Structure 1
Amino acid sequence: MKHTIGNTIKFSRNLCATAVTLACIGAQPVLAQDSDAETERGTLEKIEVTARKTVESLQEVPVAITSLGAVELGNKGISVLTEVQQFSPNTTLQTSRGTNSTLTAFIRGLGQQDPLWGYEPGVGIYVDDVYIARPQGAVLDLLDVQRIEVLRGPQGTLYGKNTIGGAVKYVTKDMTGDPTFNLEGTVGNYGRKDVKATGQYPLIEDKVYLGFGYANLNRDGYGEFLQSALDGQNRENYNKDLWAARLTLEAHITDDLFFRLGWDKTEDTSNAKGGYRLLPSLVTDAPVPDSVYDSYTSLPTWNKVELEGYSWLLRYDVSDALELKYIGSHREGYSPTNIDFDNTALDIFDVPAIYEDENDTHELQANLLGDNYTFVSGLYYYDGTSCGQFEAILGLLGRSAFATPGLTREVAGCNNSESWAVYGQLNYDITDQLSVSVGARYTDEEKQATVFNGLVFDNVYPETGWVPGYVRPDGQLVPQVLGSDSDGDGVLDAPAVQDWSRFTPRIGIEYQMTADTMFFASYSQGFKSGTFNPRATTNEPGVNPEVVDSYEIGMKSDVTRNFRANVTLFSYDHKDRQYIGIEGGSDDPTALEQRLRNAAQTAATGAEVELTYVATDNLTLSAAYGFIDFEIKENDAVPPLIGLASTPENTLNLAASYALDTDMGYFNFNANYYYRDDYLLFETSDLIEQDAYGMVNVSVNWESIEGDWYAGLHAKNLTDEEYLVGGYDFVTRNEDGSYGPGLGGDTTLIGYYGDPMTIALTVGYRF
């Protein structure tokens, strides 16, 4: 690793050009095939997806999609959603800063980095067509999964708001009605110990089935907290301690009527993540650690993410041509966390916080199938509340500059959203070769927001007992600043309220040149919801939605029975981008006075290429390449926008899969080389930048001839690349290129890293 201190801090990585460089997007696995894919030895598999809310072949859908089925996920040892980014061009799915469960998602450079309540994501995450509204807990561990679909480009017509970059769909396995039980264990370096159990049982033969799944996932830390201000704390850093459970009840009431009820719960008590100090502290003994996974802290190391949800589906096949669906859900999340921004054993810049959310969704669908058309339509309703509280503790500054016991800027509040939408999309065959698709969605949304924001001249924590001996004063400590004053007495008595509505169209044309080659072109629009500033310090209005107009042309072609080429070219305009700007003087040491505005317009063009070549009956090769070129058209952001966050100009995945039948059983060998170009961590700062790097992964899988026993050995990041996935930059930069103190009075320049080299052995048995 090389550190360069100057205008930017970069991290150089040697590309492993001589390493294994082949991997497979649509690999031909030797193990039992996915239920949603058809394949014949030595030929391309047929992959089914639900990108347009009906079951279709991947090669017939005029949308840029990457689909990974259960067998392929298992063969590659993919156990968590973030690993899917390697196999989808122009896609970033990474664990956010500070916790192990918060997701940072960008597709084609469009997303949302700040996970604070009130901000909306730019990439929609769906589990069985149920929207996951908040990034906390969205780093999903894969349990009983059928496939993962990554839809690139705005999905505003069928999926609605907050899909300006695209959508990621997590689809669980359907039940067959046969009694099954699968037990799986994994051991690995860093003390990894995982247990998963899944299965199903028919309560009434051919009518009612009960499915279940449970996972207990544990791993020691990649590093440790070298210093801690509190005694008795667990000092592991980047550890894992999580359990998850699912129950599903399916009822095939008649041949035409189907009902499914699902419940899931996840509890993650992994430690809060400590960041790596890229600069030594100016005010205490906190040098740059030897390991990027080591840190220091003055906060408790505990962290918690609790998620629980219910979902239900009622499907009625009125006739061969008409299908009706009702999909509903209720979800809750609770996450108290400790984020030490400065990562020292002093209270220089500490942020203990609580995130809470709750939402309900209801969707009615009517799907028509005619001789030369399909029509998907629906009504959608969402009612959600996202709340939180954080304390920006600047204790050292308060004691030194203000002669007080400490200093805290406390921010708390809620953003409530109620929206409804109506949508429809018609796909019509003009001739046997030429077809068009026309769709639109109308969304109406009302948001209410309250924000409490103010200074307390003491060190304040969200709850009594947060640190040993702490007792929180009763009542609200700081005044409300965002809302309305109906009687003019200077006291805000109601939340701020604002309405937005949006019509988002889509139009496309498809030409089936041959039975195996389709060309398509489309225009689509998506939007990210308008919102209020969750850090508001004045009674400011909400900001308008962000809007993306996207254009695509592409080809999907099974050129021969064993070579597939899918290519998409795209361009988009991104208007009314929402940015926080410093208002009222950035030299104020307590300044979190930030105004949310629609402050920029950008554009991009790019390409995505996915190739699969079945070289022999046993060997499959493939490649996935993404390119994006970014342009700033208007730039009123403060500080100014300089680039895309967490989005490299080039991404590349090359891979191979080799199947081997022996008297000892069936073997499958996988290897891939994944490359990411250099990228910024923040759109408005070049203080932290990740240099280009490459990563090598290999797997060996075995299944017994009887199909009951199976095993997999998976080695990831074989060259132990160190790569940034998040950070904080509260420093000043002097004219000579050196760094001075920022907010809190120290050089707070912090990085968070992806996983080091890991090796794991999985063994499973199917009863």
Structure 2
Amino acid sequence: MKHSKFKYSSCAMAVSVAMGGFAFPALAQDTMPDARQPEGRILESIEVTARRTVENMQQVPLAVTSLGADDISDRGLETILEVQQFSPNTTLQESRATNSTLTAFIRGVGQEDPLWGYESGVGIYVDDVYIARPQGAVLDILNIQRVEVLRGPQGTLYGKNTVGGALKYVTQRMTGEAELATTVTAGTHGQRDLKLVGQVPVTDDFYLGFGYANLTRDGFGKFLISDLPGQDLENYNKDLQAYRITAEYTPTDNVFVQFGYDKTEDTSNSKGGYRLLPSLLTNTAPVPDSIYDSYTSLPTENRVETEGMNLTVQWDVNNSTTLKSITSRRENYSPVNIDFDNTPLRIFDVPAIYEDEWFTQELQLSYRAGNFNVVSGLYYFDSESCGVFDAILEELGKSLGAAGLTREVSGCSNSKSTAVYADGTYRFNDQWSISGGIRYTKDEKDSVVRNGLIFDTVYPESGWLPGYVRSAPATPVVLDDSADWSKVTPRVSVEYQATADTMVYASYSEGFKSGTFNPRATTAEPAANPEDVESYEIGIKTDLTSTFRLNAAAFMLDHKDRQYISVIPDPDDNAALNQRLGNVGQSEAKGLEFEFTWIAGDNLSLFGNVGLIDADFSNVFSFDADLNRIDITDDFVITNTPEQTINLGFNYDMPVSTGDIVFTGNYSYRSEYSLTELGNVLEQEGYGIVNLGVSWTSADGKLSLGLHGKNLTDEEFLVGNYAFLGAADPSLPNGYAPGLGGDTTLIGYYGAPRTVSLSLGYRFGR
């Protein structure tokens, strides 16, 4: 199966943070008609905050995609995952066994492993508040002003862990009027959604906002056999509730204060994977008929709870100077059941608990003069990320004569980070300008890891199974250490405004992903140092006519000191070889990106994007038994990175006597991509999905109706996998020797099948 193409078909801090929407800043994606053509439909000026200040997207010297509220509504987008269709060289997918853990890659850079201690490669931000962990980061789209995708390292303005890029949510700000908006949605697979958002003016300068969402759906498939009675057997279901309360206060014309509290609880079942090979250890786990069906020996229940508060204060000191403070505190809690082998036996089960909390404080100063502007600031981040998992290998333990076998790993990774930054632009004249910035970051990390074997079947806590009481001994502390790093990340670009409608730029930028300790350490190994990315980019942003816009970029990047588990000599014992986390990899990527919008007529608009990328590992090393350094580059591939991403779509706006009807659709194609970096045995073939929708809005804007179909050709496509296989051997029943747990475990997780939904919305007020 090495590099074979299985086409087994293919395709929440979340809601709450984005939902009540009334969070600051509301730097709206305002639109203005182009004065060059007073009659007919023309291109609109799109404002973004990619550089932490309001700018025309066509004058920002970096590759950025912006989806406004109308785009999101017309296309019926529901979660962050769908945004990947509209941004080239971007991957946003659910991470294997949960609905709400995000796997994000941009330009071949991201992070596969969501375990505590590992850092992300793509930064997620909601109103400039950093979302530090992937658990709960599959954001449901609700009351959003716009979504921005920033491609390439953003190490100056956004700091560490944005080596691939950043994804920004900007939510709606309150209008000051009494309003209530409700939307109900019904769809295939028993989809039943209710969303409520509203606001109440308490005084002329003090407003309260609230939001609530209840999102439910039956499973796409079933758990066919489980050894636990009374389980919910829906697989790939959804059950999520979210709440938000927001207060906004404007004591004077130049001071704005916003406070928000939100909570989300996602109790969707843990997802079961599809066995691509039948089990060797039981005849009750053959390959299922449906890719959404599975087997499990674990409870199906799962929970992801996210809760947080944020406070933003902005003071416009004068026409040129603004001070802003952004404070947030968030926490996540997630007990999860991951059945790696997906059989009714305890061959390889991994129940786990993730607990995270973090505090951020940013003080920002913006200054604008005639030919100069700068954004500068101080940033502080303090987090604790903890967890425990039990790798249950019961069948293997029984074969060894024990009652069971469990490897238990637990620990915490505590991180503090402080930074100072400045980023600005100087305009020499109407055509030439130079932009640049620099950020200094000091990182400190403490880590404790407990790791050991227990010759029994053990779960993280009492009550995990009916009647289960935990009595296992604590595993030993194998690592208790701290480390610190400091990094300087610069950015520089040169811009040439060739005409009023065409800007050309060339840029160089750097970013880094934080150093870390191995959260699965078995010995007191040293920490891995930060990863570094250096990126070069040239681009053009042009409105070729008043109805056709083309943005294009060419880039190349070097990704150095990549952190991987490898065999590394023990510095205190040259005779010992240990599996350690080290900086043993390097990769390179180069590519092209194109985005266009064409107003083809008074009613018809066409849009699209193309991403082309060539990303490969250039150097990965390890050591052999004689402590000789060896090259294992050929064993690694860049994952979640199709060489081609293509999207073509349309909007047709048809005014009618009762309001406005919009027809929309798009075709999104992704070429083949790999699922696992090391020893890849599974690839997804190229596929395309078709989406169509129609929506009607009444003339007064109060009543709306939308019908949307997603993945209408019912493509089947992999978004994740687990592979635990021995050496390939065609003479064996499944073509492989047994892997960890004593079985041939090759598991696939898939994107959503064809879905159709009907939404009805009504807005009171205005």
Aligned ranges 1:638-657 → 2 under 5 Å: 640=633, 641-657=635-651
CA distance in 2, matches of 1:583, 1:635: 12
Residue of structure 1 equivalent to 2:693: 699
User: Structure 1 length normalisation: TM-score?
Assistant: 0.93
Per-residue deviation at 1:217? Answer: 0.1
User: Alignment partner of 1:190: what SS?
Assistant: helix
Q: 1:450 aligns with which of 448, 451, 461?
A: 448
CA deviations 1:447-496 (Å, max 9, x no partner) are 0000000000000100101011211127x52000001xxxxxxxxxxxx1
Residue of structure 2 equivalent to 1:664: 658
CA distance in 2, matches of 1:593, 1:201: 61
CA deviations 1:271-329 (Å, max 9, x no partner) are 00000000000000200000000000000000000000101111001110100000010
Q: Which amino acid aligns with 1:131?
A: Y
Matched, 1:759 2:744: no
Aligned-pair identity (%): 58
Residue of structure 2 equivalent to 1:490: none
Q: Is the 8 A contact 2:692 2:710 kept in 1?
A: yes
Residue of structure 1 equivalent to 2:122: 123
| C-alpha spacing 1:364/1:6, structure 2 compared with 1 (3 Å) | closer
Q: Is the 8 A contact 2:28 2:47 kept in 1?
A: no
Q: Is the 8 A contact 2:10 2:718 kept in 1?
A: no
Q: 2:419 aligns with which of 418, 421, 436?
A: 421
CA distance in 1, matches of 2:168, 2:424: 22
| C-alpha spacing 1:67/1:208, structure 2 compared with 1 (3 Å) | same
Matched, 1:372 2:366: no
Matched, 1:340 2:350: no
Q: Which amino acid aligns with 1:231?
A: P
Q: Is the 8 A contact 1:580 1:637 kept in 2?
A: no
Residue of structure 1 equivalent to 2:684: 690
Aligned ranges 1:206-225 → 2 under 5 Å: 207-225=205-223
Q: Which amino acid aligns with 1:626?
A: G
Matched, 1:615 2:612: no
Residue of structure 1 equivalent to 2:113: 114
Residue of structure 2 equivalent to 1:83: 82
Per-residue deviation at 1:229? Answer: 1.1
Residue of structure 1 equivalent to 2:351: 352
CA deviations 1:60-95 (Å, max 9, x no partner) are 111101111111101111011111000000000001
Residue of structure 1 equivalent to 2:15: none
Residue of structure 1 equivalent to 2:7: 11
- Shifted more, 692-701 versus 677-686: the winner is 677-686
CA deviations 1:239-286 (Å, max 9, x no partner) are 000011122111011011110001111100000000000000000020
User: Alignment partner of 1:685: what SS?
Assistant: coil
User: Alignment partner of 1:37: what SS?
Assistant: coil
Per-residue deviation at 1:735? Answer: 4.0
User: Alignment partner of 1:286: what SS?
Assistant: coil
Q: Is the 8 A contact 2:98 2:270 kept in 1?
A: yes
CA distance in 2, matches of 1:7, 1:650: 18
Aligned alpha-carbon RMSD (Å):
1.7
Per-residue deviation at 1:564? Answer: 0.1
Residue of structure 2 equivalent to 1:239: 237
User: Alignment partner of 1:579: what SS?
Assistant: strand
Per-residue deviation at 1:582? Answer: 5.7
User: Alignment partner of 2:682: what SS?
Assistant: strand
Q: Is the 8 A contact 2:423 2:436 kept in 1?
A: yes
Residue of structure 2 equivalent to 1:545: 530
User: Alignment partner of 1:636: what SS?
Assistant: strand
CA distance in 2, matches of 1:242, 1:637: 44
Q: Is the 8 A contact 2:2 2:682 kept in 1?
A: no
Per-residue deviation at 1:581? Answer: 2.6
Q: Is the 8 A contact 1:144 1:213 kept in 2?
A: no
Q: Is the 8 A contact 1:128 1:170 kept in 2?
A: yes
| C-alpha spacing 1:750/1:321, structure 2 compared with 1 (3 Å) | same
Q: Which amino acid aligns with 2:746?
A: L
Residue of structure 1 equivalent to 2:487: 502
Q: Is the 8 A contact 1:241 1:269 kept in 2?
A: yes
Q: Is the 8 A contact 2:3 2:683 kept in 1?
A: no
Q: 1:267 aligns with which of 257, 265, 268?
A: 265
Per-residue deviation at 1:583? Answer: 7.2
CA distance in 1, matches of 2:237, 2:727: 34
| C-alpha spacing 1:138/1:426, structure 2 compared with 1 (3 Å) | same
Q: 2:560 aligns with which of 566, 575, 580?
A: 575
Q: Is the 8 A contact 2:336 2:352 kept in 1?
A: yes
Per-residue deviation at 1:213? Answer: 1.3
CA distance in 1, matches of 2:2, 2:615: 25
| C-alpha spacing 1:414/1:244, structure 2 compared with 1 (3 Å) | same
User: Alignment partner of 2:464: what SS?
Assistant: coil
Q: Is the 8 A contact 1:137 1:305 kept in 2?
A: yes
CA distance in 2, matches of 1:75, 1:344: 42
Q: Which amino acid aligns with 1:479?
A: P
Per-residue deviation at 1:13? Answer: 6.1
Residue of structure 2 equivalent to 1:30: none
User: Alignment partner of 1:396: what SS?
Assistant: helix
Residue of structure 1 equivalent to 2:611: 626
CA distance in 1, matches of 2:566, 2:465: 33
CA deviations 1:570-598 (Å, max 9, x no partner) are 000000000123679xxxxxxx9741010
Q: Is the 8 A contact 1:160 1:526 kept in 2?
A: yes
Per-residue deviation at 1:428? Answer: 0.4
CA distance in 1, matches of 2:33, 2:227: 59
Q: Which amino acid aligns with 1:225?
A: F
| C-alpha spacing 1:37/1:244, structure 2 compared with 1 (3 Å) | farther
Q: Which runs of 5+ in 1 are unaligned?
A: 16-32, 484-495, 585-591
Residue of structure 2 equivalent to 1:555: 540
CA distance in 1, matches of 2:756, 2:28: 26
Per-residue deviation at 1:749? Answer: 0.3
Residue of structure 2 equivalent to 1:204: 203
CA distance in 2, matches of 1:10, 1:637: 30
Matched, 1:519 2:504: yes
| C-alpha spacing 1:310/1:6, structure 2 compared with 1 (3 Å) | closer
Q: Which amino acid aligns with 1:611?
A: F
Residue of structure 2 equivalent to 1:676: 670
CA distance in 1, matches of 2:370, 2:316: 17
CA distance in 1, matches of 2:663, 2:544: 26
| C-alpha spacing 1:303/1:583, structure 2 compared with 1 (3 Å) | farther
How many residue pairs get matched? Answer: 724
| C-alpha spacing 1:747/1:39, structure 2 compared with 1 (3 Å) | farther
- Shifted more, 318-327 versus 625-634: the winner is 625-634
Q: Is the 8 A contact 2:216 2:239 kept in 1?
A: yes
CA deviations 1:30-81 (Å, max 9, x no partner) are xxx9753335751112111100000111111111011111111011110111
Residue of structure 1 equivalent to 2:574: none
Per-residue deviation at 1:115? Answer: 0.2
Q: Is the 8 A contact 1:533 1:595 kept in 2?
A: yes
Residue of structure 2 equivalent to 1:468: 466
Residue of structure 2 equivalent to 1:18: none
Per-residue deviation at 1:561? Answer: 0.5
CA distance in 2, matches of 1:355, 1:508: 41
- Shifted more, 736-745 versus 5-14: the winner is 5-14
CA deviations 1:737-762 (Å, max 9, x no partner) are 81221000001100000000000001
User: Structure 2 length normalisation: TM-score?
Assistant: 0.93
CA distance in 2, matches of 1:231, 1:90: 45
CA distance in 2, matches of 1:39, 1:299: 58
Matched, 1:719 2:717: no
Per-residue deviation at 1:664? Answer: 2.9
CA deviations 1:680-713 (Å, max 9, x no partner) are 0011232111000000000101011121110110
